[in-house]
Amino acid sequence: MAVIVAIGIALTVLFSWSAARVDENTEERLLQGQSRQAAAVLSTAALVIQQPMKSALDVQAFTEPDNSASVFERGMGMNVGGDEAEFVTASLWHQEEGTFSSVASVGPSPGIDGSSPEGQAFLERALKGPTSVVERVVVGEQHRFAFALADSATGYVVYAERSIPANRRSRVDRDSAFADLNYAIYLGKGTELDDLSTTDVEPADLPLKGITNKTEVPFSDTVLTLVTSPRQHLGSSLSQNLPVILGIGGLLLTVISALVARQLVRARSEAEYVTETITALYQRDDIMYEQQRALFVRLQRALLPQVNPDIPQLEIASEYVAGAQGVDIGGDWYSVIGVDDDRFAFVVGDVSGHGVDAVAVMAHARFTLRAYLVDGDSPQRALEKCSRQFDIAVDDHMITAVAGIGNWRTGEIVLANAGHPPPLLVTADQADYVTIPVGPPLGVGPSSYEPLTFTLPEGATLIAYTDGLIERRTEDIDTGMRRLIDVVTPIAQDPLEDLMTQVLTSLRDDDAADDIAVLALRRVSS
């Protein structure tokens, strides 16, 4: 009996110790798996932060030097300022004869002055390096990350600063991958307080205690070091309490402990497999998201005009604003082209739906209408020809468009409308919509269209737009059209670019899902 008791006690002690070790190993492996998920989220966030800078450089490669400042300010303006904006400040620099000069800037003064020796050296690092470069800067009581991304082929460098929240909480910890983790993120490979970037614990409680995991995430020309520890037990409650249960259970539980240990090993393997599968899915989704987003940005920049043509006695302003929700690009577009010495043509159109298919239909419609108008077809004839080339039953999309031919010498304009909102004619005295016959949208079958001919007075402005400018989900379209008149009337004589900015600022809904395209033509005296 004593031998049996001794064996039982020995087995109880042995299995209790084994269960404790298995639980500890399981905790370490689960922490490793969850830390990999968190690192994948952090890596994606790092790519997203730098995407606007990359887009700005891509646009700069196709921008005339005289337009660099305005194009950069429009492109980066939406990413600078505000609590949720990506950057606090941004600027564009260009190197000539070994010295960087400022081209454009958005936002307040940066922490690193690009014209100073320190700033010039920082920009030079970016131009010579294969990736972007990053440093931590302190502006007053605010800590920031300073980024620089260069295009060595053109000599342009985009510089931007992103604030580190005062509470040291990183935006990425909103992701479910951080739900059960305490974390500390350091810039570089060091884990001293001087290297600390963000954390969800008080700096006095660092370094993290207990079971921890350390992961390095590539970040520009350095790394982010992610140190994690579990906020609570990651495994099952049975795994956590099993050593106590085995110790109290005595000899009876020594028999069961072998089965439980085997079950724990199996559960650990399953947990590791599930964790690895989830991590792979996170990474694949992140890669697909980034690829889709990058593709849509390239499509948008490639298909819309980079600059408007110079037409005598005509000022032109245009703007495209993507919808605030989702990553899919829409089918809104505008186009202005010279036809001959006296005439010019213009089109504003909208393809129903979003996504790659809508972009393909938009490209087809835009270049087809452009070709017909350049070949000398009237607006109504060009729309009539196009009505035979699109079929909603085949494409799953229909197209609305307003097309016009104008003579800059006489001010005469001929319009035709395929199911599109009417243009707004703005004079010094009033603003009112052009009463134009509306024909069927393209895609519903072969159709004919009635033209309207009128004269654009000197000083008057014609504004063509897509429905995203005036439509809101909770209102009828007449309310939105009246709102556009109310906004434009007091500023009718403002500079055209200022008028366009005020219209978009006043009418754009931050929660709108639809895109907006606006084209404004103002006839000026010779």
Predicted confidence (pLDDT) per residue in 187-244, tens digit: 888 888 878 888 888 888 888 888 999 999 998 888 989 999 998 887 777 777 787 8
Q: Give the position of tokens 């703007």.
A: 319
Nearest to 370 by CA among 397, 401, 336, 342: 336
On whether residue 182 sits in a domain, the answer given is no
What's residue 359's pLDDT?
A: 83
What's residue 1's pLDDT?
A: 61
pLDDT above 80 (res 335): yes
On whether residue 42 sits in a domain, the answer given is no
Query: Quick one: average pLDDT of 45-74?
Result: 82
pTM of this structure:
0.47
Q: Give the position of tokens 């005469």.
A: 412
pLDDT band for position 299 (50/70/90)? low
What's residue 298's pLDDT?
A: 57
The tokens of 454 are what?
A: 């009128």
pLDDT above 60 (res 326): no
Phi (first) and psi of residue 78, to 5 degrees: -70, -15
pLDDT band for position 175 (50/70/90)? confident
What's residue 246's pLDDT?
A: 82
What's residue 402's pLDDT?
A: 97
Between 413 and 98, name the one with better pLDDT: 413
> In which order are the strands placed within the sheet that holds 196-199?
196-199, 181-187, 222-230, 213-219
Query: Quick one: average pLDDT of 359-371?
Result: 89
The SS3 assignment for 394 reads helix
pLDDT above 50 (res 297): no
pLDDT above 90 (res 347): yes
What's 459's domain CATH number? 3.60.40.10
* Greatest mean pLDDT among 92-96, 191-195, 210-214, 419-423: 419-423
Domain count, the chain: 1
On whether residue 239 sits in a domain, the answer given is no
Q: Domain limits at 418?
A: 308-523
Phi (first) and psi of residue 374, to 5 degrees: -65, -35
Query: Quick one: average pLDDT of 385-397?
Result: 89
What's residue 255's pLDDT?
A: 64
On whether residue 496 sits in a domain, the answer given is yes
The tokens of 176 are what?
A: 């479910």
On whether residue 234 sits in a domain, the answer given is no
What's residue 46's pLDDT?
A: 79
pLDDT above 80 (res 305): no
Q: Is 311 exposed, middle or buried (0-12, 13-18, 19+ CB in 10 A)?
A: middle
Query: Quick one: average pLDDT of 8-37?
Result: 82
Query: Quick one: average pLDDT of 10-32?
Result: 81
Q: Which helix (H) or strand (E) holds 76?
A: helix 68-77
On whether residue 473 sits in a domain, the answer given is yes
pLDDT band for position 149 (50/70/90)? very high
Nearest to 471 by CA among 512, 510, 433: 512
| pLDDT tens digits, one per residue of 463-517 | 999 998 998 888 888 999 999 999 999 999 999 999 999 999 888 876 666 788 9
Q: Which helix (H) or strand (E) holds 244?
A: helix 237-303
pLDDT band for position 287 (50/70/90)? low
On whether residue 31 sits in a domain, the answer given is no
What share of the chain in percent tops pLDDT 90? 37
What's residue 324's pLDDT?
A: 54
Query: Quick one: average pLDDT of 253-272?
Result: 75
Written as one letter, the residue type at 313 is: Q
- Distance (Å) of CA 113 to CA 89, 102, 104, 124, 321: 12, 10, 14, 13, 31
The tokens of 441 are what?
A: 């949208």
What share of the chain in percent tops pLDDT 70? 92
Q: State the Cα–Cα distance between residues 526 and 113, nearest whole angstrom.
A: 44
On whether residue 86 sits in a domain, the answer given is no
